Amino acid sequence: MKTLVVCPLQEELAFFLARCGKKGLAWEEQQIGLLTVARIPDLDLTLAVGGTGKAQFALQTQHLIDAGPGWEIVICAGAAGAIVDKIAIGDVIVATVTVEHDYRNRFNERPLPSFQGYRKAVETLRALRANGLAHNIHFGPVASGDEDIVAAERRRQLHEQTGGLAAAWEGAGGARACVFSDVPFLEVRGVTDAADSGAAMDFEDNLEIAVGHIADLITAWLEQA
């Protein structure tokens, strides 16, 4: 399955590849259009950087879709802050839906834009968890918006507004590119912080752990595909 994983940050991509290296998976550098990517031939997996924020991530994802070989799924993979208490540092969240929380329409009352995670992928990842091949995985909404969540009250509001388990920036941008191009989309996030006053420091301390767990999940899934 031709899989494209797009990480917002170069650091996230580096941690993902480092985890793959520990699993004995070799990768090679390639060029897709204007972007340098990493390809893992054994899994038919390509990884790229999408940039920070919804707009930049959408732009680079769209470029990778247009210049790429015909992806069967695009995955937005990176860090997130938990906005419910049951989610722990290092847990992985597979987004059943990505909800764009900062789309503020003041003219009329409409639901927030939302983008369903690719159902087939969600179902197979659920089965992977059931078989004991992955750890600390949750399935549910992820709130997407260009806003750092660093206060308890805002954390509570965002969960009530979206039903989200975690908050991150770029997912809705990637989802919009995939909807436009009719490519299946999924958001997978590793939790680095509790979206509170310590979020910035916790993000730095826990990014490698969180991304490593994402890499474990995605590679195990692709190995069984």
**Mode of pairing for the β-strands spanning 114-116 and 28-32:** unpaired
- If we measure between CA atoms, which residue out of 101, 187, 203 comes closest to residue 138? 187
Return the pLDDT at 109. Answer: 85
Return the pLDDT at 130. Answer: 73
Return the pLDDT at 27. Answer: 97
Q: Count structural domains, the chain.
A: 1
Return the pLDDT at 47. Answer: 98
Q: How many CA atoms within 13 Å lie on the side-chain side of 44?
A: 14
Residues contacting residue 44 through CB under 8 Å, at least 6 positions apart: 1, 2, 3, 222
User: Over pLDDT 70: what percentage of the chain?
Assistant: 99
User: Above 80 in pLDDT, residue 133?
Assistant: no
Return the pLDDT at 131. Answer: 77
User: Over pLDDT 90: what percentage of the chain?
Assistant: 92
**Mode of pairing for the β-strands spanning 114-116 and 92-100:** antiparallel
The CATH number of the domain where 183 resides is what? Answer: 3.40.50.1580
Domain containing 192 equals 3-224
Tell me the C-alpha distance between 100 and 140, whole Å: 14
Return the pLDDT at 132. Answer: 74
Return the pLDDT at 134. Answer: 65
Tell me the C-alpha distance between 64 and 51, whole Å: 12
Average pLDDT estimate for 53-60: 98
pTM (two decimals): 0.97
pLDDT digits (tens, 9 = 90+) for 75-89: 999 999 999 999 999
Structure tokens at 46: 């390509």
Strands (E), the chain: 3-7, 28-32, 35-40, 45-49, 73-82, 92-100, 114-116, 137-144, 166-168, 185-193
